[in-house]
Amino acid sequence: MRYAESRKNLAGCLGGLAGVGIALTGAAGGLWPLVVAGLYGAGALVAPPERPDAPDFEEGGDRLEPLRADFATLRAYLAEVDLPAAARDRLAELDALLEALLEPGWVSDPDHLHVLARAIRQDVPEAVDAFVRTRWWARVAPGTEPPERHLRRQLDALYGEAAGIAAALQEAEEIRQRTHTRYLEDRGRG
């Protein structure tokens, strides 16, 4: 049923209908079934592919729990999108890093939460949706810069932002550990 409503089937039906029109004029002769089938196939091939709609997130603020729910929604959307292997690999790395940062108890800084919220609710969905839309046009008009390159650069930049937050958290924990060590050592001397 899903294919019956798809863009490819609708474009194919229009092509097939044009084939029936040609057959009715007598221009196709005895080959009219091949003409109808060929025009259906041509219509189905040139139609843009189906693509899942990017999630539309409501403004949930920069609180952790709504952000975690939006991250689950983003993951469901990304599972439906067909991406090249290199982008899928980088997206998996970004996903793992975001998942770790969104664990309760790690990120509490409002600036860090804002960066994560922007990445999850805006930047990642926009990068993937723009890639999906541009990829079809690049197939129709070859010779342009590959959209995969832009997607990879965007995912690299987003990974860099998230890695910066992770590094800041690691540094804060290391400082906390060294401070506690000094406190214990000083207490033992006193």
3-class secondary-structure state, position 174: helix
Percentage of the chain exceeding pLDDT 90: 47
Q: Can you read off the two tokens belonging to residue 147? A: 């959209």
User: How does DSSP classify residue 123?
Assistant: I
pLDDT per residue as tens digits for the range 50-81: 777 788 887 767 788 889 999 999 999 999 89
- Altogether, the residues listed in the chain come to a count of 190
Mean pLDDT (the chain, rounded): 87
Q: What's the CA gap between 18 and 61, in Å, rounded?
A: 52
Residue 165 · residue 107 · CB < 8 Å: yes
Closest CA to 33 of 51, 17, 20: 20
Q: Can you read off the two tokens belonging to residue 153? A: 């650069």
Strands (E), the chain: none
pTM higher than 0.85: no
